[in-house]
Amino acid sequence: MKTMPKHVLAAVGFDALCHCMEAYTSKISQPFTDALALYAIDLIAHNLVDVYKGRGTQESWEKITLASTIGGMVINTAGVTLAHGMEHPASGLKDIVHGKGLAALTPVIIEASYKGDHFKFAKIARIFGGITADDLAPKIRTLLKNLDLDVKLSDLGIEEKDIPWMAENCMKVSAASIANNPVVFTQEEIAEIYKKAM
């Protein structure tokens, strides 16, 4: 990890965070995954930027690797939600780095989804220094800026004409992720979320 390019570290670190946030807010989460996911979110929230900027201690690196491992454990049980579900068609179409695709989609999806579970989104927001559920998307955007991952789908080669194909494929390949999301969206609504992420 210490020798990988910084942009790879940022992308995989954000992916690990998404695993934890999505498992925590998933409709099939349970107490064990919730406890682990919250613990790992806190580890990433307080160490990833330092590690990315070169100020991280050995302990900081260890906390990131622990959180990433937990991320894999919790999605094995609680699954992922809409950000992963919508990202896979995008990276499949344009060979986008997975973590960058998540960076473009996650804040917009949080804005559309937090009404489905105010309590859990607020709990994550507090870890990042916010208070209420609607603080989370701005806090995640700040994190992405600090990781040089503040991107839109259009920056990654996606065009408006690609949206209908991506929305249709999201429904086909990501049915479980759509069902796990705190708010379940139609194909038309998913197309609108893609537009907002452009």
Please give the Cα distance from 77 to 24 (Å, whole number): 11
Q: How confident is the model at residue 1 (pLDDT cuts 50, 70, 90)?
A: confident
Radius of gyration of the CA atoms of the chain, in A = 16
Residue 74: which H helix or E strand, with range? helix 58-78
The yes-or-no verdict on residue 54 having pLDDT over 90 is yes
Q: How confident is the model at residue 2 (pLDDT cuts 50, 70, 90)?
A: confident
Please give the Cα distance from 144 to 142 (Å, whole number): 5
Phi, psi of 99 (to 5 degrees): -65, -30
Q: What percent of the chain shows pLDDT beyond 90?
A: 98
Per-residue model confidence as pLDDT tens digits over 121-144: 999 999 999 999 999 999 999 999
Per-residue model confidence as pLDDT tens digits over 24-37: 999 999 999 999 99
Count of all residues that appear for the chain in the document: 198
Domains of the chain, each with CATH number or no CATH = 6-196 (1.20.1090.10)
Q: How confident is the model at residue 66 (pLDDT cuts 50, 70, 90)?
A: very high
